A and B are shown apart, each in its own frame.
Chain A
Amino acid sequence: MARAASIAVLLAALAAGGCDERRRAATPLPGFSAPFVFGRFQVPADNPLTAEAVALGRRLFYDPRLSAAGTVSCSTCHIQRLAFTDGRATSVGVSGRPLAFNSMTLANLIWGPQRFFWNGRAASLEEQALVPIEHADEMAQDLGRLVAQLSADASYRELFETAYGETSPDTIARALASFVRTLISSNSRYDQFLRGEIALEAQEELGRKLFMAHPDVKVSLRGANCIDCHSQFLTGGFSARYDGFANNGLDDEEHLQPGLQLVTGSPAHRGLFKVPSLRNIALTAPYMHDGRFTTLEQVLDHYDRGIQNSSTLSPLIVEADNRGTAGEGRISLHLTPEEKAAIIAFLHTLTDQDFVTAERFSDPFAHK
C-alpha cells in the first residue's frame, strides 16, 4: 500500500543543469517535495526550478501589468481559493467577451499530460504562459510593451537579472512556468489516507472503490470507471503521448468540437479534450471544458446516463455498465443514487485546504 513515502526531491542537480552564464543566483528551491506515489516528473533542462525564478514567476502571476489595461492578471482567472480556477463557466478577460473555455485548475501540472490548454495546443508550460498575455480577449498585452514596462521597474529589473540575466518574453514565460510547476496539491484527506494517516469514512471509501473500478458484472465488481481516464493517485490525465486526452461523451457526432484534432490533425482525435486533475474538484465548479455543469451531481448524472455517442467515444465508456447490458441501446453506468452520492463524497476528500491557503502560492503584493 502507498505509505507515507513522501520523498524530498533534490533540485540541486536540476538547478545545475542550466548554463546561462549571466544568471547570478540559482538557489535550489527550499522545501520542495512531492509524494512518492505521484511518480516521476521532468523540468526542462533550460529552465531549472530555482527559488529566484519561482519568486519572480509568482510576482508576474499576480501582476495586472501583464494585461494591456492593467486590470487583468493570471490570478484573475486562476484564483487560489478556488484551486486556481475562477468560478465561471467560461473565463472573461480584458475584452469582456466570454472565452470559449473554462479556466482549468493549475494544481499538479508538473505531472500528467505535458500539453496544455483543453485542446493541448501548447507543448510546454513555457509555451502556454505567453498565449493568454497576447490573446485579444484575455490580456491583450503586447510583449514588447510588457518587457519595456517591466524593465522600467527597478525591482523587476533586479529580479530578472538575478533569476535569468535579462528581461525578455522568453524569461517572462520561463518564470511563470517555474511558479506554476510549484503549485503542488498533496495534503488532501485522500493524500492523508494514502499516507496511512487517516481512514476514510465508509461512504467516502465506497466512493473511492467505485472511482477506482471499471465495472465487471462477471465478477460482481461495481464501478464508475473514473480511473479509465483519471489516474489513481494524481486523479489527472495520463502523461504518455495523447493518453491524457479523452472524448467523455458530452456531445453527439454532429456537435463534436475539434479538440485535440486541431493539434494532431487526426480524425481519431476529434472531440478529445484534456483530462484535468480532479484535485480540489469540489472548489472548481463549473465543470467540463465549456463549464456546462454547475454541480458535481450534474457531472455524475452525465457519466451515469447522459453520455452522447460519437465515432471517437471510447469503448471503455460504452462498455462500462453495472448491469451488463452494454451494446443494447442507451449507454449507462447504471449507478444507484447511493453510489453517486458516495463518489461525490470521495471527490470531496480531494480538497486540500493547505493548497488553497498557502502563503507561498498567494498574491505577493497583498503581503507587502
Chain B
Amino acid sequence: MNRVRKATLRMLVLLALAAALGLAGWWLYRGAQPVELTLYFHPFVGPEPLVLNESRYPNPGGEGRFTVRDFQFLLSNIRLSGATGAYVESDSYHLVRFDGDDPAAVIVLHDVPRRDYERIEFGIGVDAAANRSLTPRGDLDPNGRMAWTWEVGYKFVLFEGALLRGTASVPLVYHVGFDESYRPISTDLHGEPLDSRQARLDFRVDILRLFQGATTVDMAALPAVKFDRADAALLARNFAAMVTPMWPDAARTSRDP
C-alpha cells in the first residue's frame, strides 16, 4: 500500500514536471514565433469614407465641391521599436493607393520578431537617398506613375481630380514631392497588442487634412501643386496630420526636416 502510494506520488511529480516543461517549451516556442503584422489604411475625406469620382466633398477653402479621381502616396522606412529591440523592414517603400476596389490599402509585415514594441515609425514620402536613386526598391519604380524624372525624384503624394463650381470644372493636380517634403512620423503604440500571430494596426488617411492645416487651401485659388517648392512645402506640412492612428490615446510626434 505504502509502496503504491509512493509510486503514485512519484508519477504525479513526474507528470507535473513534464507539464511544466511543456508549458515553458510552448512559451519559448511561442516567443520565438514571428508575428505577421498588417497595417490597414482607411481612406476618408473628412468624416466620410472616400468615394472616387463623386463630387460630394466641399472645397475646404472656398466655393464648389471636389471629386477625387486618383489618390496615392509613398510610405517608407517602417520601423517598430521598444526597450527590448527594434524591427526594421528592409527595402521599406510602399505605394499606398486607393482604387475604390478595396475598402482599405494594406501593408503586410512578415516575420516581425515578437517583442514589446512601444512605437511605430514610418515616413510619408521617400528619403533623400532613395529619392535620388534609380534602383527599384520595394514599390519604387523609376518607370512607374509616381516617378517624375530622374532629375526630380518621386511624387510623394498624388491627388488628381476636379473642382466643380456651377457648370465649370477645374482640373485638380496635386503632385507633392522634393526631398524636403519627406515627413518621418513616430506613433506611440500605447499598449496595442502586437503579439498575436496575426496582429493589425489601423490608420485613418484623411485626404481633406492635406488641404486643411496651418493654412487652409482654396482649391480654386491653388488648383495645382507640382514643381513650385513653396507650394509643395505648404501641403507637405500637412502630411503627418493626413495619416493618423485609429487606436486610442496614441501620442505622436512628427519632425520637420
Contact = CB atoms under 8 A, between A and B. Distances in A.
Interface in A245-278: 268
A219 B53 contact: no
B136 A39 contact: yes
Interface residues of B, number: 35
Interface residues of A, number: 35
B171 interface: yes
B207 to A, nearest CB: 15
Interface in A228-244: 231-234, 236, 238-241, 243
A111 interface: yes
A212 B226 CA distance: 14
Contacts of B52: 268
B46 interface: no
A115 to B, nearest CB: 15
Given A39-B143, A238-B143, A326-B171, A216 B149 contact: no
Given A2-B134, A218-B228, A219-B228, A231 B171 contact: no
B144 A240 contact: yes
B199 interface: no
Contacts of A219: 226-228
Interface in A1-59: 1-2, 36-40
A319 B149 contact: no
A214 B226 contact: yes
Interface string B56-97: 000000000000010000000000000000000000000101
Contacts of B99: 241
B120 to A, nearest CB: 25
Interface in A291-322: 314-316, 318-319
B142 A327 contact: no
Do most interface residues of chain B lie in helix, strand or loop, or is the interface mixed? loop
Contacts of A159: none
Nearest to A233: B143
A327 B170 contact: yes
B1 interface: no
A204 B1 CA distance: 105
Contacts of A218: 226-228, 231
B145 A240 contact: yes
B160 A231 contact: no
Nearest to A315: B171
Interface in B178-227: 223-224, 226-227
Given A1-B150, A315-B161, A326-B171, A221 B143 contact: no
B168 interface: yes
Interface string B156-175: 00001110000011111101
A297 to B, nearest CB: 25
B112 interface: no
B131 to A, nearest CB: 15
B162 A315 contact: yes
A314 B175 CA distance: 14
A227 interface: yes
B111 interface: no
Contacts of A36: 134
Contacts of A327: 168-171, 223
| Residue with the greatest number of chain B CB neighbours at <10 A, chosen from A40, A236, A318, A319 | A319
Contacts of A238: 141, 143-145
A319 B143 contact: no
Given A218-B228, A268-B53, A327-B171, A239 B162 contact: no
A213 interface: yes
B144 A239 contact: yes
Interface in A186-226: 212-214, 216, 218-219, 221
A227 B144 CA distance: 10
A336 to B, nearest CB: 20
Interface of B: 52-53, 69, 95, 97, 99-100, 134, 136, 141-145, 147-151, 160-162, 168-173, 175, 223-224, 226-228, 231
24 contacts: A2-B150, A37-B142, A39-B136, A216-B227, A219-B226, A232-B149, A234-B143, A236-B143, A238-B145, A239-B141, A240-B95, A240-B144, A243-B145, A268-B52, A268-B69, A314-B69, A315-B160, A315-B172, A316-B160, A316-B173, A326-B170, A326-B223, A327-B169, A327-B170
Given A231-B142, A239-B143, A268-B53, 8 more contacts: A112-B143, A214-B175, A227-B148, A232-B143, A233-B142, A239-B141, A316-B171, A327-B171
